[in-house]
Amino acid sequence: MDLGWLWWLGAALVLGVVEMLTVDLLFLMLAGGAVAAAFAGLLGAPLWLEILVAALVSVLLLFGVRPWALAKLKSTTPDAKTGVDAQIGRPATVVADVSDRAGRVKLSGEVWTARIERTGVVLPAGTDVVVVRIEGATAYVAQPETPADPSQPYGPATQGF
């Protein structure tokens, strides 16, 4: 009995591991072709037929299944913002008067250096603000345009979080 089908099964496993590292669904489709070739080999097909089965099934999976599966994967995977990007739009409280030159705000439990972009404006301690952008370790803040709504934990600037 020919054990060539085990090579195809081994190739499918290797391609599956590579897929786990890339999550692009490309190597998964190739692994599907290798599994189909392993079945063909298990049934006693000659090598040329195994290669043909692997190629045909891989192409069918790549062009028939992968676009749909990739769209489904991307639609269910949220674009999670991390680091400083996650802080943009969040509420903060002024702890030391904020002007266009200096200030401090409490943001997500941490005290940050803060600035306001408008010159001549000073926000006193205790004022609720929203983070507009972050440059380095400085949070640029602005007063929210509408009063804070308690039903929206991060205010109107971050709906959808």
Task: Assess whether pLDDT exceeds 80 at residue 14.
Answer: yes
Are the beta carbons of 115 and 141 closer than 8 angstroms? yes
Q: Which residues contact 157 (CB under 8 A, 6 or more apart)?
A: 89, 130, 144
Average pLDDT, the chain: 86
Domains of the chain: 4-76 (no CATH), 83-144 (2.40.50.140)
Q: What is the pTM of this model?
A: 0.50
Predicted confidence band of residue 13 (pLDDT cuts 50, 70, 90):
very high
Over residues 132-155, the mean pLDDT reads: 74
The Cα-based distances of 150 to 88, 107, 125, 128 in angstroms read: 19, 17, 21, 13
- The 10s digit of each residue's pLDDT in 82-105 is 777 888 889 999 999 999 899 999
Q: What's the confidence (pLDDT) of residue 147?
A: 55
